[in-house]
Structure 1
Amino acid sequence: MIVAVDGPAASGKGTLSRQIAAHFGLRYLDTGLTYRGVAHAMHQSGHGFDDVDAAVAAANALDFTMLGNMDLRSDEVGEGASRIAVMPALRKVLVERQRLFAQGAGKGAVLDGRDIGTVVCPDARVKLFVIASVEERARRRTHQLFGLVEGPQYDVLLKSLKARDERDMGRADSPLRPAADAHTLDTTRLTIEEALERAIALVNGAYLE
């Protein structure tokens, strides 16, 4: 059982994916953290984020089981991940490793990211494309980071999310877009419980009928 979950930043796909994995007893991988893990390793070793060879070496050595233990949420690591994510050689290595994770021993896995249903796991039986309005996503991120839903922090994050969407959807290599057979799940007005209920129904419909 492989569940592919894609969508833009702050759409709720990470929280939803973790809960789907917990419900079905599956392994979970946030593929975005693999890029952050590479950026973190490069920063720790003193390599610049334009060093393709260093990025590929770090990707090959990256321990996926340690991603939750690394300090990957800093702005510097995030900026580095955004810069290295456009490297085709790096993407090739990480995509292959992500596929191996999905196909590993056990019941299956839930992977979330921006190209899971289109590139990493195109044969997944269940593909979800999780969306929300950019305004709602900015409110969520502002509340998550600052405990607020409006103000100057909201304006900054709204601008940042719009720029990130444009970059993710416009890149030549693996752009953010729904797979042709993906189910679009708009979480703008849904609670996480409501979104999870709908996602579970889709998985059950595909695998358990």
Structure 2
Amino acid sequence: MNRISSALVASLLLAGSAQAQQWSGPRERSQDRHEVRTDKRELRDDRRDVAELEEVLGRFDRAWSRQDEREMTAVESRLRELLRKELSESRAELEKDKREVRRSEREVRRDRNWGRGAADDRRDRRDDVRDARVEAATLQTRMAIARELNWVMGNRNHADLQRERNLIVQLIQIAQQEVQQTRQELREDRGERREDRREDRRESRQRW
């Protein structure tokens, strides 16, 4: 290959890489904004879940101390309702995380095809895989708690009531962990948005 041909190929490769960055930039920025909005909504939902479970625990303790069968039955009904909702949300979140993993993998493959390193996309894929694994483990834990609650609910001996209370506390702890996890995700996504804005400013200066 002569010098002219080599220079032409090099210029085409550089142009293709630059064009790929232009194409991917707006899409990635839009995705970052969407993730921040989603994180904020999920944080509100997670905090609500904690508050609802804490309310159930308080009602449980009062019903137990008063030996109020009617109230205890109502508390257990509410607990079943919340647990069904938590399981449904956890399954939906796991499916969402799996979709995010697939999207991240497509972006990493796209970067390879364009000959770019794209450390950001590799980091996103790593984070998405982590989130999916955490959500899968959380779902399994909730399902195990649900099975055990099904055995002890309705029993009024001290051991079963204490076990039921402990399981409610475990559900609260899981919900609190999700609040912390969502806060961390929100911080990470906000950091990515700040980096996007800095990149936009750098590109703007380069154009001028």
Q: TM-score range by the shorter chain?
A: under 0.3
Q: Which has the higher strand share?
A: 1
Q: Which has the higher helix share?
A: 2
Based on CA coordinates, which of the two structures has the bigger radius of gyration? Answer: 2
TM-score in terms of structure 2 length: 0.25
TM-score in terms of structure 1 length: 0.25
